[in-house]
Amino acid sequence: MRTQRTWTAGPLRYTLTRPPARKNAEFEHLHPRGRGGRFTRKPWVLHHHDPSAAGSGGNDFADWGDRAAAIRRARDRYPDLHDLFRTGDAVGTRAAVLELLDSITWPDGAIPTAHVDPDPGQSLYFGIEINLPSSNAVLLHARREVLQRPATGRLHVMNEALVVDDAHRGGKWAAHLNAALEDWYIASGINRVFLTAADIGAYAWASAGYDWDPDGYTDDERGNTRLRGDIEAILDSIAEHARYPETLDLIARYRGLLDGPRIALPTPYELSRIEYQPGATMWAGKAGMIGMTWYGEKYLEPPAPETKTMADDPAATAERRARLARLAELHRRWVLDTPGADDGQPGPGTTEDALHAAVDEAGLFPDADNDR
């Protein structure tokens, strides 16, 4: 049973709910990850109600089998990024990037190129361009850098740039590239990607599922002030583009959460979907986020074990849904239905530690400490 809240805004109907994580989908679930025992969350998602999708509600696992197969292909096809990072193998990295680009169907006549600049054991940088000689244009330009976290020794990826030519936007070229790269990251055991979202990317990366970066917004007074300031600036911008009075009520509700714990804050995705309607090219959330700047992080969660995916095991699928439903209920009680929730406070007798303990007791994430 899915926990959700529904309301209307003008002719639109919205649902606040918690589906599970899916490959390149709009949703990622709450999980107790992060440094120093801090709680990194993937909270509730606001999305437009589509009657044609009734019954599925984004809670299907049909694509998980395809995802696991893509990860296996990436593992078999490309070298491990840890090895390339350690050795600084520029030739091997360039060959792998070009092979990855060749796996994507680009427009006719497109010529992929790659530039690699390694610093063995310190940094592995690669730039990507998709050139269109017929129109003398660069369809897409991207820059990525693999770095090591000194505190843990783990690798992560910085998304330094991603630009799509104006004349070719809407073709999902960036999404195809990101999906292929993320499969390679996961196959190599890399599960965190960071970026600074700006300009149109402030909307694009929000819609791609990036959350607020706990490193960019440090867990101290200065970081908390900056995070809440960036969210408030986004809310102000969205309010300027709002079409319905109910949207302003929703924005006021979000403002009330800014003084509360981080787990209760709206995600970038939530904000980007305000007033969205299927088929629309512009809406308040999108228009309001374009031109903003914020620090983002995406946790890349692998699919079910490659030997047996959720799609292959109905019992495992049902169990996961039950676990997520329990988590959703815990979160709803803690954030949405407790006294004082409207002003961002969790209410008497309800604390973040209590939520952590309840999550652990429910056994929702038994492998939470195994991220590489």
Q: Are 230 and 251 in contact (CB under 8 A)?
A: no
**What is the predicted pLDDT for the residue at 365?**
46
Q: Does a structural domain hold residue 19? A: yes
pLDDT tens for each residue of 226-240: 999 999 999 999 999
Q: pLDDT digit string (tens) for 243-301?
A: 998 899 999 999 999 988 888 888 999 999 999 888 899 999 999 999 999 999 998 87
Q: Tell me if 114 is assigned to some domain.
A: no
Residue 15 lies in a domain: yes
Residue 313 lies in a domain: yes
166 within domain boundaries: no
The CA-CA-CA angle for residues 266, 272, 275, to 5°, reads 105
Establish if 83 belongs to a structural domain. no
Residue 328: inside a domain, yes or no?
yes
- Tokens read off for 303: 């699919």
Which domain, by its residues, includes 197?
4-78+188-370
Average pLDDT, the chain: 75
266 belongs to a structural domain: yes
Residue 211 pairs in a beta bridge with 297
Which residue carries 């309010």 as its tokens? 239
Q: Does the structure show a pLDDT above 90 at 314?
A: no
Categorize the per-residue pLDDT at 21 as very low, low, confident or very high, splitting at 50, 70 and 90.
very low
**370 vs 327: which has the higher pLDDT:** 327
Q: What is the pLDDT of residue 16?
A: 45
pLDDT > 90? residue 122: yes
The better pLDDT of the pair 318, 88 is held by: 88
Count of domains observed in the chain: 1
Q: Which residue's structure tokens are 């209307």?
A: 8
pLDDT of 319 above 70: no
